[in-house]
Chain A
Amino acid sequence: MERSSVTRKTGFWEVVKSLLSGLQLTWRHFRNADKRRAPVPVMDDNYFNQPEGLVTLTYPYEAIPVPENGRYRLHNEIDDCIVCDLCAKICPVNCITIESVKATEEIGMTSDGTKKRLYAPVFDIDMAKCCYCGLCTTVCPTDCLTMTPVYDFAEVDIKNMIYHFTDLTPEKAEEKKQLLAKQQEEMAAAKAAALAARKQQG
Chain B
Amino acid sequence: MLAFLLTLMLLLGIVIVLAYAERKVAAFMQDRMGPTEAGPFGSLQSVLDVLKLLQKEDIVPAAADQKLFKLAPILIFAAVFAGFAVIPFTPDLIPAGIGIGVFYLLAIISLDVVGLLMAGWGSNNKYAMLGAMRSVAQIVSYEIPAGLAILSVVMICQSLDFQEISYQQGILLNRFPGLEFETNWLFGIEALGINTTNIGGITTWNIFRAPILLVAFVIYFIASLAESNRAPFDIPEAESELVAGFHVEYSGFRFAVLFLAEYSMMVLVSLVAVILFLGSWNTPLPNLTALKFANWTTGTVGELSGILWGGFWLLSKTFVLLFLQLQIRWTYPRLRVDQLMHLCWKVLTPVALGIVLLAGIWRLLMV
Contacts and interface: CB of A to CB of B under 8 A. Distances in A.
Contacts of B29: 26, 29-30
A33 interface: yes
Contact of A22 (B28, B32, B33, B332): B332
Interface in A139-164: none
Interface string B18-60: 0000000101111111001000000000000000000000000
Interface string A20-31: 001101110110
Interface stretch (A50-58, A75-83, A89-97): A50-58
B28 A29 contact: yes
Instruction: Report the contact-size class of chain B (Cβ under 8 Å from the partner).
Output: 10 to 19
Interface in B212-256: none
A52 B36 CA distance: 20
A43 interface: no
B331 A25 contact: yes
B327 interface: yes
A19 interface: yes
A53 B31 CA distance: 6
B331 A54 contact: no
Contacts of A33: 27-28, 31
B296 to A, nearest CB: 30
Contact of A19 (B25, B31, B332): B332
Contacts of B331: 22-23, 25-26
A54 B332 contact: no
The A contact surface, by secondary structure, is helix
A26 B28 CA distance: 9
A27 B326 CA distance: 11
B332 A29 contact: no
Interface in A1-52: 19, 22-23, 25-27, 29-30, 32-33
A172 B169 CA distance: 92
A107 B321 CA distance: 79
Contacts of A26: 29, 327, 330-331
> Which of A22, A25, A26, A32 has the most chain B CB atoms closer than 10 A to its own CB?
A26
Contacts, number: 37
Interface string B313-342: 000000000000001101110000000000
B326 to A, nearest CB: 9
A14 to B, nearest CB: 15
A27 B327 contact: yes
A53 B27 CA distance: 11
B328 A23 contact: yes
Interface string B183-220: 00000000000000000000000000000000000000
Nearest to B24: A33
Given A29-B29, A29-B30, A53-B31, A58 B36 contact: yes
Interface of B: 25, 27-33, 36, 327-328, 330-332
5 closest A-B pairs by CB: A33-B28, A56-B33, A26-B29, A26-B331, A22-B331
25 contacts: A19-B332, A22-B332, A23-B327, A23-B328, A23-B331, A26-B29, A26-B327, A26-B330, A26-B331, A27-B327, A29-B28, A29-B29, A30-B29, A30-B327, A33-B28, A33-B31, A54-B28, A54-B31, A54-B32, A54-B33, A55-B31, A56-B32, A56-B33, A58-B33, A58-B36
